[in-house]
């Protein structure tokens, strides 16, 4: 896609399945990419090197801590030269009946998914505002990994659904405020992806697996690679006029499957 070559991309949760798939698509289109993750440094650097020894790098980053993000962005900027696309992809989930949700679990999920998105997006926006602008051209884009459950409830998903619903509104506020400054914001909302956290839960929890199998009209979960292209599209010239909205990649799950 046009408009990706030679751009700088920062991806939180970059060593996870979706993060890796997204990084591959941007690298293939000619971008430079920084993977920001909590993995040990040696493991993270190996992941980046495996993707591209010259155009991919790793920084250790805890998205729930502002100071950690400040250090990560400073290191990333030295490698990238400039920041054009920031992808708030780091996430976690705890599935529990509402009456059993602990305060600790609630804070952990909201801390990573919502506060982490806020802290990442805010720092990215500050850097993008420093990018030179030609006329009304875009200065940068901030993208979020949302979820189809930002639109509808999922059993035992109170903390996760709430975090993704909040993330959706956060993206709209960012889009509204920063559009005049040439910065767009949007969400890619996957449905059931056989990757990362969902894959682990699906493989170990038969009750969860049965629920998933009944939900998707396309009768299968997606791959991380099927989700990754949507991020590339939104960051490309083809997506430059899209802001404040969600690109739903859910196989029809929100349609509610009927037998």
Closest CA to 137 of 81, 84, 79: 84
Count of domains for the chain: 1
What pLDDT digit, counting tens, does each position of 207-227 carry?
878 877 788 888 888 999 999
Q: Check residue 159 and give its pLDDT.
A: 96
pLDDT band of 75, cuts 50, 70, 90: very high
Q: Check residue 249 and give its pLDDT.
A: 96
Q: Can you give the pTM of this predicted structure? A: 0.94
What phi, psi does 101 have (nearest 5°)? -65, 125
Residue 203 counted as domain residue: no
Residue 199 counted as domain residue: no
pLDDT at 259 over 80: no
What pLDDT digit, counting tens, does each position of 152-204 carry?
888 889 999 999 999 999 999 999 999 999 999 999 999 989 987 778 888 99
Task: Count Cβ neighbours within 10 Å for each residue of 101-121 and write b for 16 or more, e otherwise.
Answer: beeebbebbbbbbbbbbbbbb
DSSP state of 223: P
Residue 106 counted as domain residue: yes
Q: Which residue among 160, 194, 202, 241 is the active-site one? A: 160
Determine contact, residues 244/172, Cβ cutoff 8 Å: yes
Pairing of strands 140-145, 32-37: unpaired
Per-residue pLDDT, averaged over 109-113, amounts to: 98
Between CA 259 and CA 250 the distance in angstroms is 18
Residue 88 counted as domain residue: yes
What pLDDT digit, counting tens, does each position of 4-46 carry?
999 999 999 999 999 999 999 999 999 999 999 999 999 999 9
Is 58 a catalytic site residue? Answer: no
Residue 130 counted as domain residue: yes
* CATH number of domain containing 32: 3.40.50.720
What pLDDT digit, counting tens, does each position of 121-143 carry?
999 999 999 999 989 999 999 99
3-state secondary structure 157-193: CHHHHHHHHHHHHHHHHHHHHHHHHCEEEEEEEECCE
Q: Which of 64-68, 92-96, 181-185, 231-235 has the lowest mean pLDDT?
A: 92-96
Q: Check residue 145 and give its pLDDT.
A: 98
Between CA 31 and CA 8 the distance in angstroms is 6
Residue 112 counted as domain residue: yes
Determine contact, residues 56/49, Cβ cutoff 8 Å: yes
What pLDDT digit, counting tens, does each position of 116-125 carry?
999 999 999 9
Average confidence score pLDDT of the chain: 95
Tokens 């602990």, residue?
A: 102
Residue 2 counted as domain residue: no
Q: Check residue 202 and give its pLDDT.
A: 85
Q: Check residue 95 and give its pLDDT.
A: 87
* Domain enclosing residue 188, as ranges: 8-194+223-249
Residue 254 counted as domain residue: no
């Amino acid at each position: 896609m046009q408009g990706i070559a030679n751009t700088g991309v920062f991806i939180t949760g970059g060593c996870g399945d979706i993060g890796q798939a997204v990084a591959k698509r941007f690298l293939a289109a000619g971008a430079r990419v920084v993977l920001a993750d909590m993995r040990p440094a040696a493991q993270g650097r190996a992941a980046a090197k495996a993707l591209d020894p010259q155009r991919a790098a790793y920084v250790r980053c805890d998205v729930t801590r502002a100071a950690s993000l400040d250090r990560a962005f400073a290191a990333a900027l030295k490698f990238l030269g400039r920041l054009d696309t920031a992808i708030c992809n780091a996430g976690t989930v705890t599935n529990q009946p509402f009456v059993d949700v602990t305060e600790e679990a609630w804070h952990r999920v909201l801390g990573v998914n919502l506060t982490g998105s806020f802290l990442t997006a805010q720092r990215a926006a500050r850097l993008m505002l420093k990018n030179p602008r030609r006329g009304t051209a875009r200065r940068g884009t901030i993208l979020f990994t949302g979820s189809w459950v930002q639109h509808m409830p999922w059993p035992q998903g109170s903390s996760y659904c709430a975090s993704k619903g909040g993330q959706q509104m956060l993206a709209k506020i960012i889009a509204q405020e920063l559009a005049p400054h040439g910065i767009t914001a949007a969400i890619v909302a996957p449905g059931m992806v056989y990757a990362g956290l969902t894959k682990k839960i699906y493989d170990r929890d038969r009750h969860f697996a049965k629920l998933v199998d009944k939900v998707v009209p396309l009768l299968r979960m997606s791959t991380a690679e099927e989700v990754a292209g949507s991020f590339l599209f939104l960051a490309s010239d083809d997506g430059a006029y899209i802001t404040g909205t969600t690109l739903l990649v859910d196989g029809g799950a929100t349609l509610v499957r009927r037998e």
